[in-house]
Structure 1
Amino acid sequence: MRKSNIKHICFDLGGTLVRENPEFVKVHNELRYKTYAKVINKPITDKLKIEYEELYKKYGTNSAIFSSLDLPSDYWQNHFNTLDRDKVYYYDPDIYKTVVALQHFFSLSIFTTIKTEAAYKTLEIGKLDSKYFQFIISGDDVKHRKPSLEGYYKVIEKTHLKSEEILYVGDRVNADIIPAKKTGMKTCLVWKKSVEADYCIEKFSELLKIINNPL
């Protein structure tokens, strides 16, 4: 299968290896605004929502926003973990089949900002066995969560490869694609398109074509 110089594929988890249900955005936003409102001790208003979205544009992730408010790096993830994952994520057979195919030819890994226990529970929703992955780096394994480059450099260190020999696959431009590119990794954005990514796919199995024909 291997025709490119890619030797290792690292995946984001939530929103990438497991799909988000249509109601995810609504439930997720409600939690974001509620958590922020509690921290700054203000009611949830349209003005507060706009304020939060401006912060999101600036910092790139929810975890980074709350860290900027001098809260622990896992503050947001502790709140995010209160969501019922079975209701916000769902199994996608195309993802499952693609990962199973890839693990026969490439070493695979996961770098996610969510906590370790939650990561394994999320994998179960996608019916993905952790044995498919050489290693899993969770938010508990880094001091600074995405979009910090810390975790991406940790991926490079663990693989003992050149950064350009690693493909990072994620669903968020600011949290996944841009920081991965800064470390020299190749990048693939799923479900949408962006000029920031080296590759963009709308169906997960298209990843097999990229690996076979990187041009």
Structure 2
Amino acid sequence: MIKCITFDLDNTLWPCEEVILNAEQKAYEWFDMNCPNISKNLSKEEIREFLVSEAKKKPEYSHNLTFLRLNGYKNLLKNYNYSEKLSEELMELYLNYRNKVNFYDNVLETLTELKNLFILGTISNGNSSLAKIGIRDFFSFEIKSEDVGVKKPDSIIFEHAIKASGVKPENIIHVGDNYVNDICGAKEVDMNYLWINHEQIKEHNIESKYIVNSFQEVKNCILSNYKMEDI
């Protein structure tokens, strides 16, 4: 009997790539205005490559994307003889645009309906903010890898969600787009799962009734295949 639904965020409730690209564009415009030596010498793509290379130097922080990007910005500014303190202003700007998302079709309508039937929560490896996006009221809890100290598919982050929900794992269904992070992670702690398989990848160990190709199918799939708690 399902009492709680947890959701991944990026590429589950909204497409992620366009959000990141827009935030990076705004960051590049900030460089152009405040640190022109950087934008004159590096393209957006080169800055992204630099940030990725810096992140790889600190694998112990792979669960904390905010720290990694902030650290990368600090090092970039330092390399061009700008004050590292500017990184805080830049990071604030980046996160502001990181939270300007465009939801998939029917996300808000579906969350509104499901909130009346289930406890809702989120489990994310990203650094978006439910409050800044404006959807915090839909959810009873928000679990983020940078707060927990590990990222999906580590069972610890799912266990935090189980504890926050107040129900047993067999009474929870996790909805996400990433087979390894979301589906394998949920299975490891005996949670139910629903895979939003955008790319229609073939995985033979998942029954087709637990796979959808878009968020629009989520509500009907859950209500059709799982028993609900009587409310």
TM-score (norm 2): 0.63
Give distance in 2, aligned partners of 1:179 and 1:40.
23
Q: Structure 1 regions of 5+ residues with no counterpart? A: 42-65
Maintained 8 Å contact 1:192/1:201: no
Give distance in 1, aligned partners of 2:19 and 2:62.
28
Q: Which residue of 2 aligns with 1:157?
A: 163
Q: Which residue of 2 aligns with 1:189?
A: 195
Q: Could you tell me how far 1:148 is from its partner in structure 2?
A: 1.6
TM-score (norm 1): 0.67
* 1:94-137 CA distance string (max 9 Å, x none): 1111111111111101111234xx3236633xxx3x12111111
What pairs with 1:121-140 in structure 2 (closer than 5 Å)? 123-124=133-134, 128=135, 130-140=136-146
Give distance in 2, aligned partners of 1:86 and 1:71.
21
2:103 alignment partner, one of 53, 74, 91: 91
Maintained 8 Å contact 2:63/2:146: no
Give distance in 2, aligned partners of 1:200 and 1:24.
27
1:109 alignment partner, one of 79, 96, 121: 121
Q: Which residue of 2 aligns with 1:202?
A: 213
Q: Which residue of 1 aligns with 2:66?
A: 77
Pick closer, same or farther for the CA change 1:121–1:18 going to 2, 3 Å: farther
* 1:149-175 CA distance string (max 9 Å, x none): 111011112223221211101111122
Q: Which residue of 1 aligns with 2:30?
A: none
What pairs with 1:26-37 in structure 2 (closer than 5 Å)? 30=45, 33-37=49-53
Give distance in 2, aligned partners of 1:86 and 1:174.
25
Q: Which amino acid aligns with 1:8?
A: C
Maintained 8 Å contact 2:19/2:98: no
Q: Structure 2 regions of 5+ residues with no counterpart? A: 25-44, 71-90, 227-231
User: Greater CA radius of gyration, 1 or 2?
Assistant: 2
Give distance in 1, aligned partners of 2:213 and 2:62.
35
Among all aligned residue pairs of Structure 1 and Structure 2, give the percentage whose two residues are the same amino acid.
Answer: 23
Q: Which residue of 2 aligns with 1:44?
A: none
Give distance in 2, aligned partners of 1:131 and 1:188.
23
Give distance in 1, aligned partners of 2:18 and 2:173.
28
More helix per residue: 2
Q: CA RMSD in A?
A: 3.2
Give distance in 2, aligned partners of 1:202 and 1:7.
23
Give distance in 1, aligned partners of 2:149 and 2:212.
31
Maintained 8 Å contact 1:188/1:201: yes
Q: Could you tell me how far 1:179 is from its partner in structure 2?
A: 0.9
Maintained 8 Å contact 1:95/1:204: yes
Q: Which residue of 2 aligns with 1:15?
A: 11
How many residues are treated as equivalent by the alignment? Answer: 177
